[in-house]
Structures are given as C-alpha cells and as structure tokens.
Chain A
Amino acid sequence: DAKTTQPPSMDCAEGRAANLPCNHSTISGNEYVYWYRQIHSQGPQYIIHGLKNNETNEMASLIITEDRKSSTLILPHATLRDTAVYYCIVRAYNFNKFYFGSGTKLNVKP
C-alpha cells in the first residue's frame, strides 16, 4: 500500500471549515483513499472514501487532486464534537488490509 503523510495536528475554529490534507504521492491506479476518525477511547469511525472523483456525503467532502497524489478531507462546519484524530489510508481495490499511519489530531476550538 502507498504511504500517506499527514500533519500531526491542526486547529480549527468552531463553525469554520476544517480542511485536512493527506499526501500519497506513490499511490497506484487501483488504490482508493479512505478517511477515518477516532475520538478518544473509541473505535475508528468511517467517514468517506474515493478513487479519483470528488466525493461528498453527510459527514464530509473528499477532494482528490487530478494526479491523485494528494487529497483533502473537508468538514464544512466543524463542531467541538469533530475533535478527533483523522486518518488517511490508501488501499488497493480488493486488498484486504488497512494499515493506519499516525494521523492528524484536529482540535476544534470555540
């Protein structure tokens, strides 16, 4: 699986958009980008995934660059409950395993 690079921490003001970047410059053509978050002492929560097109669901939007070497997870209106560690994972289609990197600790501040 391609390695991902994320900033260790970010701050965001409550009510503003949180934009979390992920670099995956060695991504292959059949590898998807997945985003999860983990609130303290809970299991990770699936947020969104995509291959090359931008994706949106009720939680977030995923923007993947045209060359697919990086992506951004957007939480449009961050709340205090969005404070968590966010993980970006790259995984090939039909490949079983998900390996977690160190993620980004998002601090949403009032």
Chain B
Amino acid sequence: GAVVSQHPSRVICKSGTSVKIECRSLDFQATTMFWYRQFPKKSLMLMATSNEGSKATYEQGVEKDKFLINHASLTLSTLTVTSAHPEDSSFYICSARGWGGDSPLHFGNGTRLTVT
C-alpha cells in the first residue's frame, strides 16, 4: 500500500516554456502533499506544502509565481514550473501523507527536469 505515482520521470524543455509534473496517491487519500527539490549530491529541500482545495504554503525563498502548485483532489497535486530557465534544472520529488497524526510521508520516484 501507500503508493505515490509521479509523472513524468524525465522531461527536457526549452528555456521559457512551462512544465507540469503530476503527483498522485494511488491507494490512499492524501491529506497533504509536499514538493521537494534536490540538487546533485545534496539532500532534499522542501519547496511547498499543499492541502486539497486550498492554496499551497511555500517555504522561504521559493518563488510562488515560478512554481505553481494545484491540489485538485485528495489524490492529485500538480507542480508547474513556469517560464523555465536552466537554473530550474533539478530533481523534483513529490510526497503525500495520509490520515493520522504520525502517518509517514510516501514519495514518488521523482522527475528529472532539464531546461536547455
């Protein structure tokens, strides 16, 4: 159980275009979904937290207009990288948390974004 599906796994786009990444919880309803970013050989950095039907909460230093998050349902969240630039190239990972105060996060397999 507790499977999180993330698509696409890899995407290459040109500077100035936008890219959408989908995150779905397949076998549980996620009260909250999270988006992380990871640079090579570094740890995961929390970007934002989203709850179904409400606006995402962004961590300090993360541009909300650059990284648009939509949490349409209890099983789907999307991250759109708008007007992508080469410095946005990174590994983006979504995660979801089920019900229960101590419930763990479950992670998707990540999306490798390369902006050329």
Give me the interface of A with B, judged by CB distance under 8 Å. 32, 34, 36, 38, 41-46, 49, 51, 87, 93-94, 96-103
Contacts and interface: CB of A to CB of B under 8 A. Distances in A.
B27 interface: no
Contacts of A102: 43
B110 A96 contact: no
A71 B91 CA distance: 30
A87 to B, nearest CB: 7
Interface string B101-116: 1101111111010000
18 contacts: A32-B102, A34-B104, A41-B91, A41-B112, A43-B4, A43-B110, A44-B95, A45-B107, A46-B2, A49-B104, A93-B101, A96-B34, A97-B46, A98-B95, A100-B43, A100-B44, A100-B46, A103-B43
B93 interface: yes
B101 A46 contact: no
Interface in B49-84: 49
Looking at chain B's contact residues, the main secondary structure is: strand
B102 A41 contact: no
A106 to B, nearest CB: 15
A97 B34 contact: yes
Looking at chain A's contact residues, the main secondary structure is: loop
A100 to B, nearest CB: 4
Contacts of A93: 101-102
A96 to B, nearest CB: 5
A72 B104 CA distance: 18
